[in-house]
Amino acid sequence: MISKVVVLARRIWRKLWVRVVLLSLSSLLALALAPLLTPFLPEDIKLKLGREAILPVLTILASGMLAVTTFSLNVMVSAFRTAANMATPRVYRLLLEDTVTQSVLATFVGGFVYSLSAVILFHARVYSEDAAVVVFAITILVVALIVLAILRWIDHLESLGSMDQTLRLIENRTRFIMARRAERPCLGARRGEEGDVLPESARLFVARKSGYIRFIDISKLNSLAKEAGTDLHITRVPGDFVLRDQPLGSVNIGDDGLCTAAARAFDIGDVRSFDQDPTFGLTLLAETAQRALSPGVNDPGTAVEVLGRLERLLWEEVPATPTAAMDRTPDFPHVTLSPVHAERLLACALRPIARDGAEDPDVMGRMAQVLESLAAHPNPDMAEAAGKMRDTLAEA
């Protein structure tokens, strides 16, 4: 089970500026190593290449990369805003984590920093004539990387910002989170349910701020409970919105210090996160279908396609035997947490579409097919929940 620190580090790594800074620093490091490699070069090679041979190439590279980087940033922002307008505004944060776009832009900026810095160093006479050979070799490598990045960027632009690519991105991320949650329905803790009777000595620990619960450090909570010789019960799960001083859970026996430490194990922010919340992706897909069904868009075909993706996720990523993962020995036995129930998955995925598409026969016909299929799901909880929703919609 990953800790809160690891999750925060992953979020930072997904930022565009991180890759840009790393590649820029790498280019500066390569320039710093150039003089150190000069003594190892053969004399005949030193005489053939000088600063006059490499400076024009570096100048062209610097001016060209500045223009390419600026143009690519404009394309990225325009494509992401278009995708957010077509699908849902919440998908913009997911699009910003696109690794292909980040790597390409980081390569362009790194090439610009490298070439501009090399030109400055040559004009400042920091480099000797002999160092030009090493810089020339590094420049060839940089040009090769830039060409590969351009080819990769061209291929990526074919689908960047399109509805198909946006839906695929949401589905893939949701599939990954649902599969990981299926392996650990209670995030490694013991299973708990709402309404569990707590001892009279139980004390509540509350949220330190208002917002969405994005991550719960179960391992940290288990360590705290184990040291205190008690059990800890979590009542609010990732994806829930809480207000400051509202209860997050309780401890059977504990003091104010334990309750404060337990509250710090909850990462609460302004926006939801995929880290431990499988319903977030389902909500994004449902919101995309809702926007497609709005009078201003009137695109029931997209809603029908979203229903197909939701059906696939709920059929494939909900485990056929719900008790298999529950029966395994919990990794964190001093903590209890309720799993994500099938009713909640269906409510996030299908109920908004059923409400906004109630007047469209194509959408409701496809909805009926989805519920009919899920009613035959090998997971009895999913089958029961789908059957109830199917009967409810039929009576409406």
Could you report the per-residue pLDDT of 191-210, keeping only the tens digit for each?
876 655 566 667 889 999 99
Name the 3-class secondary structure at 132.
Answer: helix
Lowest mean pLDDT among 84-88, 110-114, 276-280, 301-305: 84-88
Task: Answer yes or no: CATH 3.40.50.460 is held by domain 192-396.
Answer: no
Confidence category of residue 214, pLDDT binned at 50, 70, 90: very high
Count of H-run helices and E-run strands, the chain: 17, 8
CATH 3.90.1170.30 in the chain, residue ranges: 192-396
Question: What is the Cα–Cα distance from 122 to 262, expressed in whole angstroms?
Answer: 57
> What is the structure's pLDDT at 33?
85
> What is the structure's pLDDT at 7?
78
> What is the structure's pLDDT at 132?
79
Mean pLDDT in residue range 378-390: 92
Which of the two residues, 41 and 293, has the higher pLDDT score?
A: 293
Mean pLDDT of all residues in the chain?
Answer: 87
CA distances from 26 to 57, 104, 201 (A): 20, 15, 57
> What is the structure's pLDDT at 331?
86
Mean pLDDT in residue range 375-393: 91
